[in-house]
Homo-oligomer: A and B are copies of this chain.
């Protein structure tokens, strides 16, 4: 029914445009492994190796990592963060500093995914751990570091109150990452997600539950060189 329509040049141009954009941003591509078979992941890794582009594989199980390393033997696998990075060396840092804060030990895996993502996107990153709201003084001890950051990622489960507290103390934007840690009525992360969305202090924006990759990516964009 649409057989007479013809505008291949227009489409080709548009497609090129997107390609061009990736090249200029220099951001590694992200491959979401969950729900992909090992064969599918290996095929993507092979294609990545041929193109030579910097790439992050997120939500990678050890078996995913093994499949990737068959094609890209030097790829780095961080099991805590469930992240595979290739090539294994992060780029030299540019832009402003990024600080990633984990409210508790249980939030560490997600925080580490954010940290590594921002690092491989070219930022200078630092991790601050276990500064939950119940021990406010521990966070205050890190205040100077927090105030130097150009972007802050705060990873928290349970009551999710930490990002709002941090945002009240600094002028940098705070990216809040809710985690699925906690008792029943945390509802796999819905409770901290809602807390963060309703933060009394302006300066907080939220990404998806357990989405450390998204938090780190956004922080890297915010702290990019102007």
Residues of A168-192 whose CB lies within 8 A of B:
168-173, 175, 178, 180-192
Check A2–B159 contact: CB distance below 8 A: no
The closest CB in chain B to the CB of A186 belongs to B198
Q: How many copies altogether?
A: 8
Q: Is the CB of B185 within 8 A of A193?
A: yes
Q: Is the CB of A132 within 8 A of B200?
A: yes
Total count of chain A residues near the partner, CB < 8 A: 102
Name the CB-closest residue of B to A121: B202
Which B residues touch A195, using CB under 8 A? Answer: 159-161, 191, 194-195, 198
List the B side residues contacting A10 at CB < 8 Å: 9-10, 13-14, 17
Check if A120 is an interface residue, CB within 8 A of chain B. Answer: no
Would you give the 0/1 interface string for A37-64, flagging 1 where the beta carbon is closer than 8 Å to chain B? 0001000000000000000000000000
* Minimum distance in angstroms from A182 CB to a CB of chain B: 6
- Residues of B with C-beta under 8 A to A192: 198
**In the assembly, what is the distance between CA of A40 and CA of B1, in Å?**
36
- A132–B202 CA distance with the chains assembled, in angstroms: 13
- Which residues of A approach B to under 8 Å, CB–CB? 1-3, 5, 7, 9-11, 13-21, 24-25, 27, 30, 32, 34-36, 40, 96, 103-106, 132-138, 140-141, 143-144, 147-148, 150-151, 157-161, 164-165, 167-173, 175, 178, 180-211, 213-214, 217-218, 221-222, 224, 226
